Amino acid sequence: MQKETTQAGSSQEWRLRLFSKSLAGQLKLRSIAALLGGSIEGRRGLDIGGHSGVFSQNLRRFGGTWRSLELDAKSAAACAALVGDGAQIGSDGKFPFEDASFDVVVAIDVLERVADESAFVAECHRVLKPKGWLIFTVPLVKSWGLLPPLRQMLGLTDERYGRLRPGYTEPQLFTLLKDGFDVQDAKTYSRFFVELVDTLGRFVVRQVNKDRSSADFAGMLADEQDFRKIEKAFRVYSFLYPVFWLAAQLDGLLFFTRGYHLVARGKRRQWIPRRTPVLADGRSIAEAALGGKIGTAAPF
C-alpha cells in the first residue's frame, strides 16, 4: 500500500513537471487564459478533458470554483488524484451536472475525440448558464502541411491519441456551434517549428520507453501506475527545452502563417436549430441559383 501511494504521488509530481517542459502545452494554456480574460473570480467553471488533471490544476489558478470532467474512468481517477475532483462523462454522453450549472465550460482537445460531437455541444449548452462561455481547443485542419505526413510516417497517428477525426476547419466549427452559440473570438496558435519539435519529442519518448503499443505523453499523463514512463518523458522534454525555445523564436518569424491548433470562445444563446433553407422542390437556394441540383447535369 505504501509503495502504491509513493508511486501515485510520484506520478502526480512527474506529470506536472512534464507539463512545465512542454512548450506546446504552455502555449495551449496561455491561449485559453487569454479568452478567459485572466480571472473568473465569483464564477463557476467546468473543464473537460484537462489531460488527467494537469490543465485542470492550472485553470484553478484563475480563481472561481471549478469541476472537472473526463472522457474515461482512468483519466477521471488521475484527475481526482491531482486536483481532488474528477468525474466521467456518462456512457450515454450526458454530463453528471444540472442544467445551467456553470458560467464557463473549457473543453480541451475533446471535440475530435467524442463520437457524437453535436450531442457533446448540446450538453455544453445545457450545463451553461444563459450567456455563459464555451471555450475549446481543437487541431486545425489545413489544406496542406508537412507535419501530418511526417507524423503518419513516425507512427504518431490520430488513432494513437484517441482522435476520431483529425480536427476541424473554422467553417466546420462554426457550423457545429451555430445552433446554440455565437463565436466571439477564434485564434490559432503553435506554428510549424514548435509543432515539429513537439512531434520529434513524442517520437523520441516512444522509442525511449520501448513500448510502441502504449500511448505516449498525453496518454501517459493518465497513467498513475507506470510513472517511470512519465519520468523518462520529462527527461526527454527537458533535454529538448532549449530547442523548443529556439523553435518559438523561429515561429515568431512565421507570424503571417496560421498555427496548427485553434482556440475559440462561443457565447451561449437560446438553442435554435439552424438548417439550410430549401425550396419547395427540395433544392437549396445555391442549387437554384446554379440552375439545377448540385451533383446533376444542369439543363441546357
pLDDT digits (tens, 9 = 90+) for 14-66: 788 888 888 999 999 999 999 998 778 899 999 999 888 899 999 999 999 99
- DSSP per-residue codes, 242-271: HHHHHHHHHHHTTTTS--SEEEEEEEE---
pLDDT digits (tens, 9 = 90+) for 250-267: 999 998 899 999 999 999
CA–CA dist 266, 253 (Å, integer): 30
Helix, strand, or coil (residue 177):
helix
Beta-bridge partners for 182: 267
More reliable by pLDDT, 15 or 114: 114
Provide the strand spans (E) within 79-227: 87-88, 102-108, 128-139, 181-189
Whether the per-residue pLDDT at 292 is higher than 60: the answer is no
**What radius of gyration, in Å, describes the C-alpha atoms of the chain?**
21
What is the crossing angle of helices 192-209 and 227-252, to 10°? 160
How confident is the model over 194-202, as a mean pLDDT?
A: 92
Q: Which pLDDT score, from 0 to 100, does residue 114 have?
A: 94
More reliable by pLDDT, 124 or 206: 124
Whether the per-residue pLDDT at 1 is higher than 90: the answer is no
How confident is the model over 81-99, as a mean pLDDT?
A: 91
How confident is the model over 230-250, as a mean pLDDT?
A: 90
DSSP for residue 168: B
Write phi, then psi, for 266 (nearest 5 degrees): -115, 140
Nearest to residue 134, comparing CAs of 271, 273, 1?
271
- How high does pLDDT run on average in the chain? 84
Whether the per-residue pLDDT at 211 is higher than 80: the answer is no
Q: Is 283 exposed, middle or buried (0-12, 13-18, 19+ CB in 10 A)?
A: middle
* Residue matched to cell numbers 472537472: 68
Q: Which pLDDT score, from 0 to 100, does residue 176 have?
A: 94
Whether the per-residue pLDDT at 295 is higher than 60: the answer is no
Neighbour order of strands in the sheet with 261-268:
87-88, 65-70, 44-48, 102-108, 128-139, 261-268, 181-189
Q: Which pLDDT score, from 0 to 100, does residue 199 have?
A: 92
CA–CA dist 287, 291 (Å, integer): 6
pLDDT digits (tens, 9 = 90+) for 126-155: 999 999 999 999 999 988 878 989 999 998
Q: Which pLDDT score, from 0 to 100, does residue 299 have?
A: 34
Whether the per-residue pLDDT at 173 is higher than 50: the answer is yes
How many degrees, rounded to 5, is the angle at CA 195 between CA 193 and CA 197? Answer: 70
CA–CA dist 182, 168 (Å, integer): 17
Whether the per-residue pLDDT at 282 is higher than 90: the answer is no
Predicted TM-score (pTM) of the model is: 0.84
More reliable by pLDDT, 236 or 228: 236
CA–CA dist 270, 94 (Å, integer): 19
Nearest to residue 288, comparing CAs of 276, 272, 271?
276
Give the count of alpha carbons within 13 A of 239, CB side only: 11
Instruction: Give the confidence band of 226 by pLDDT, cuts at 50, 70, 90.
Output: low
Q: Which pLDDT score, from 0 to 100, does residue 300 have?
A: 30
